[in-house]
Amino acid sequence: MTVYVYLTIRKKYKMEADKMKIIMLGAPGAGKGTQAKKIAAKYDIPHISTGDIFRANIKNGTELGKKAKTYMDQGLLVPDELVVDLVVDRVNQEDCSNGYVLDGFPRTIPQAEALDKALAAQGQKMDYAIDVDVPDENIVQRMGGRRACVGCGATYHLVYAAPKKEGICDTCGGELILRDDDKPETVQKRLGVYHEQTQPLIDYYTKAGILKTVDGTVAMEDVFGAIVSILGE
């Protein structure tokens, strides 16, 4: 009986683990990166960002890395086909056998279609697309509250992680500033690009039947609790 129960639990765990190929969606500043890291830690699966993939391949001098570097050195965007090749190469590595969390990819419909096609050729598919939904006005407010130290680079938030002394870094005593990237006009532009390019992915994954939406305006732990209720304990 003990052996049977053990095998049943192992089989159930494997089935759940096989269903952990996750895409994180959400506007810049929605908190999807934070949630992706928490998912990776809880379920013991890799948190994968395209930036990390680029850096690793270039550092290791892989063929794909060399190709990507030729574009990046010219200040050009790396073509979708090459980005997908890099992502697929990464998710086929041993540590991804139980699943993975993609953060920051895909960003456009062509990228999503190319990823699906490449995975389908290997008999695989994505299991979840989790959208951390936060209204634009909340994001502008959130990002406008960020402050960065000009000395050591430490980051703060006037509401959620305020320094002990206003305008002064707790770590090195440096001046805290509002970075250009976090200014309302810059954030609005980034949100405009997001809605134009990435928002259609919501419809794409809704049609695919894998989209799950969580309210990103609540506390960070509550957002994560909602995600866990979708993925399972």
Does this model's pTM top 0.85? My answer is no
List residues with catalytic annotation.
32, 107, 146, 179, 190
Task: Please write the tens of the pLDDT for every residue from 40-83.
Answer: 999 999 999 988 898 899 999 999 999 999 988 888 888 989 99
Strand 100-103 versus strand 47-49 pairing type: parallel
Domains of the chain: 2-226 (3.40.50.300)
Q: How confident is the model at residue 18 (pLDDT cuts 50, 70, 90)?
A: low
Give me the pLDDT at residue 120, please: 94
Cα→Cα distances 10→5, 40, 127, 218, Å = 9, 20, 20, 35
Task: Please write the tens of the pLDDT for every residue from 142-175.
Answer: 999 999 999 999 999 998 889 999 999 999 999 9
**Residue 167: HSE in the Cβ half-sphere, 13 Å Cα cutoff:** 0
In the chain, % of residues over pLDDT 70: 92
Give me the pLDDT at residue 15, please: 38
